[in-house]
Amino acid sequence: MSDLLERLRARGWRMTSQRRVVAEVLAGDHVHLTADEVHARAVAHLPEIARATVYNTLGELVALGEVVELSTDGRAKRYDPNAHHPHQHLVCSNCGIIRDVHPTGDPLGALPPAERFGFTVATADVTYRGLCPSCA
């Protein structure tokens, strides 16, 4: 369960102070920050980091497959560093908080061949929605 930063170094990713800070901000489970939130936290450790650099860096991490991009809510995309551990998401319809969840069984199995329209189906992203304990 090596962390994001280690994995990036191992891949020979060119390291800079801003890239390191972005990778440090994105650490742990149940972390689903927007680009702006990542920027805000990064600034606390590296005041001169630019918003555009955060966007570029996040885009690169997504391209590398080290971070997953979520469109779960209406506005800004969120970034999930837990890419090495397959999981789905549970979102509160009221406050928007997101938890990582692990459903049983293979979601792909629920889609019969007749319902595949000739597609080669590769993945299934599931978003569960409901009310969290605080909002219920």
Contacts with DNA by CB under 7 A lie at 14-19, 34-36, 46, 48-53, 55-57, 59, 75-77
Q: How far apart are CA 32 and CA 24, in angstroms?
A: 14
Task: Give the integer Cα–Cα distance in Å for 86 and 81.
Answer: 11
Cβ 50 to DNA, closest distance in Å? 4
Minimum distance between the CB of residue 96 and a second copy, rounded to whole angstroms? Answer: 13
Contacted entry of DNA, a second copy, none for residue 59, CB cut-off 5 to 8 Å set by kind: DNA
Using CB distances below 5 to 8 A depending on partner kind, what does residue 94 bind out of DNA, a second copy, none? Answer: none
Q: How far apart are CA 99 and CA 80, in angstroms?
A: 11
Binding site for a second copy (CB under 8 A): 69, 71-74, 77, 90, 92-93, 99, 101-105, 107-108, 110-112, 115-133, 136
Beta bridge partners of 98: 91
Place of tokens 């590398």: 64
Which of a second copy, DNA, none has residue 133 at its interface (CB below 5 to 8 Å by kind)?
a second copy
| Residues contacting 51, CB < 8 A, separation 6+ | 35, 36, 39
Rounded-to-integer distance, Cα 131 and Cα 97, Å: 9
Q: Are strands 88-92 and 98-101 parallel, antiparallel or unpaired?
A: antiparallel
Task: Choose between 34 and 88: whose C-beta lies nearer to DNA.
Answer: 34
Q: Which is nearer to a second copy, 44 or 135 (CB)?
A: 135
